[in-house]
A and B are shown apart, each in its own frame.
Chain A
Amino acid sequence: MRWLLDLISMLISNTFVADGFCCQLGQSIKYPASLSGASGAWLALEIHTPDGLKRMQADLNSIEVSDAVGNIPRSLTFSEGWVFIAKEPAALNAYLNMYLKRNWADRLESSYRWIVVAIIGTILFVLGGYYYGVPALTNSITSHLPNVAYEQTGQQTLRLLDEAYFKPSTISVKRQQQLLERFNKMVRDTNIGEPAVPKLIFREMGAPNAMALADGTVVVTDELVGLLKTDEQIDAVIYHELGHVHHAHVMHSLVRSSLVSLGLVLIIGDSSGIADIVSGGASFILMMSYSREMEKQADEFAAKQLKSHGGTVRPLIEAFQLLQNKEKKNSPKNNKEESSSSKGESLTGWLSSHPDTDTRISHILSFE
């Protein structure tokens, strides 16, 4: 607090005196020195060199003053490269702030109002980036991806699923042929084409399920075909999957998740390597909200198609109810595990990632 007293007495007497050191640029020897001034008009420097006292005086505005950044001591460079540094930097800094035009960055940094604005602005920017920037960027990236990228990703996923979860289908060739014909008609009706070319394949995996891959492949499990009562219900589920294909949801979520984790690394990164691992988990949680939106879009697509080609959205709702009943029959404990271990819509059950089946049904009914 001494510097504050100094400053006050200095203001009263209208003069300024500061002790410190001087050195000449390019030479490391330090000499004791003192600085004096009045009303910010001029500054006089006295340097105690071994050859005697060296005096110099300059207009405050003609002295080179180092930038103010936080509380770092500011240095004054006089003629002949003599640099003055005060013993009590705070007093000199306060004096300079009073009489020199302050750097605007420094002004912003020391204004509480601007700090609050900066915090809010930054948070808004991050949120805006998450809700608008990421989706927009995702759209532009996915639309520029070559078809090969869709094919490769789809095939790669299928290979992995075949190794880890799938078994070959046991549905008879005749039945498969039947469903394929219906599928081809549906694809013709919906006009889905490049970059994703819809294909239908059957697999066994131990649970009723259906999923869409990046290249347009729709996988339907034997258990699903067995569970659903009518071909229209199967169509309804497939329409939902075609909705994912139509909106290129798989590619979108791939690109989006890379963007989200990149953003997270930018925000929390740099302090240590642990950040990478945690950002993976955080980006997964953030992705869940995008995935709910995608389910809604696929439902809407399916509802519209069903309405225009079959006249009713009933089969989709029936399919939902059958799947829901099936899940309820499994023990509640089991159910919980499934929903926590499934990634988005896929591996363990067609409904597991969407607990709000009733909301979905009422939304679909609005298309009736």
Chain B
Amino acid sequence: MNPIKFHGTGRQFFNIWIVNILLTIVTLGIYAAWAHVRTKKYFYGNTELAGDRFEYLATPKQVLIGYLVMFVLFVLATTPILGTLIMLILLIASPWLIQRSLRFNAQMTRFRGIRFDFKGSVKDAFVSFVVRPLLGVLILLIIAVLLFGFVHLLDIEQSSYLIACICFLILVSLLLLLYYGSWVSKGIYTYVHNNYFYGSEQFNAQYNTNTFFKLNLISVLIVLAILAVPLLFSFGLIATLFEMDELELSLALTARMLTGLTALCISLTLTLAILIGSAYYTCKTRNYTYNQTFIGQDKKYHLSSTMVVGSYIILLVSNFLMVIFSLGLFSPFARVRLARYLASATQVHGDLDELTTKELSMNKTSSIGDAVATGFDFNVNF
């Protein structure tokens, strides 16, 4: 087993980060391309697998073109008519942009003299990123029509029966929607993780929708369970306050403040619930998708991920507090901590010294197309 190690330190990255910011300000943003490359080089170069480091190969010039195109599009997009047109074009071009971005990032990553590659087709990207999600809208419509029809069919006089029926139907359709979302995720992960190449060795990952559904469902249940407690509490509180409403003005004012307090409580709990729910989903999905990923013929190499929900949440919260109380100055430390944690939770199984592979000829990177995609940098990176 080869654990991935991260050697970067917050202090060192802080220097890179603060110089990046200053130079980006001084050059009115142009240095951002150099900053991007240096940051990537720092994180890749400090990531070690079986004694060797990763390398990031993109040049600032490539990235700068992407940023410039994005900037021009952004400026044009603020004008009313052209803006809608640009949004439409970007939407239609998104599968192409995603595919190019994945390919660019893969080809700019080198390990032991061999570059990664991404060979997924634009057509498959179109299917997994556009067609499958859009089907959902269709399904939603069908569900709505069915529900509506069903309600009309029922006898309205039996209202309690009707409400129970509707609740049941809503529950079923929510579950259906969740299942459908899992199916979309599965499609995306399958597309991304099956088209990477390291030299001639292809990545291979088999996923099934049920596992994604299970993870999604548990995350939703976690959020609901956390929300239930203060919601019940505050309903009780508001109910008591309503009875006091007849009292004098000062009491009513206190009541208003208290409901404000419960509103604050609810929004805090909501934040907490979403944080925990999404942390659970992130950890478990990463573990699952990595553990299913094999590299090379005969599944010779095997990825694994061992993220733990509790420590990941502690990391996120402590990072967040660190960044807030330092007014952003400690964010490089936070990023290094996250990188170190993610590296420590990632392993590659199999003897890498036995791996003999050759770099296959790659689709020539048309620099502008790839750079444009980098500008948008879809973070579907593995």
Contact = CB atoms under 8 A, between A and B. Distances in A.
Interface residues of B, number: 58
B32 to A, nearest CB: 12
A333 B257 CA distance: 12
A26 B52 contact: no
Given A70-B46, A125-B25, A274 B327 contact: no
Interface stretch (B12-20, B65-73, B124-132, B220-228): B12-20
Contact of B16 (A27, A109, A274): A109
A117 B21 CA distance: 12
Contact of B15 (A83, A109, A121, A334): A109
A278 B321 CA distance: 10
B2 to A, nearest CB: 14
Interface in A255-276: 267-268, 270-275
Contact of A115 (B19, B41, B46, B328): B19
B323 interface: yes
B331 A73 contact: no
A118 B260 CA distance: 42
The B interface, classified by DSSP as helix, strand, loop or mixed, is: helix
Given A28-B199, A30-B353, A72-B53, A105 B42 contact: no
A29 interface: yes
Contacts of A27: 113-114, 356-359
A134 to B, nearest CB: 16
Contact of B323 (A30, A121, A268, A334): A268
Contact of B52 (A85, A121, A275, A337): A85
Contact of B319 (A71, A110, A121, A272): A272
Interface in A103-120: 105, 108-110, 114-115, 117-119
A117 B34 contact: no
A69 B36 CA distance: 12
B257 A341 contact: yes
A69 B21 contact: no
Contacts of B26: 121
Contact of B250 (A70, A83, A119, A331): A331
Nearest to B16: A109
A105 B320 contact: no
Nearest to B334: A271
B262 to A, nearest CB: 14
B350 interface: no
B370 interface: no
Contact of A28 (B21, B328, B357): B357
Nearest to B31: A105
A285 interface: no
B275 A121 contact: no
Interface in B281-298: none
Contacts of A206: 249
Contact of A122 (B22, B52, B53): B22
9 contacts: A24-B113, A27-B358, A30-B353, A108-B19, A109-B15, A115-B18, A118-B21, A122-B18, A271-B338
Going nearest first, the 6 A-B pairs with the smallest beta carbon separation are A72-B45, A26-B359, A118-B22, A23-B113, A267-B328, A118-B18
Interface of B: 7-8, 12-16, 18-19, 21-23, 25-26, 34, 38, 41-42, 45-46, 52-53, 55, 112-114, 199, 249-250, 253-254, 256-257, 260, 267, 271, 274-275, 278, 316-317, 319-320, 323-324, 327-329, 331, 334-335, 338, 353, 355-359
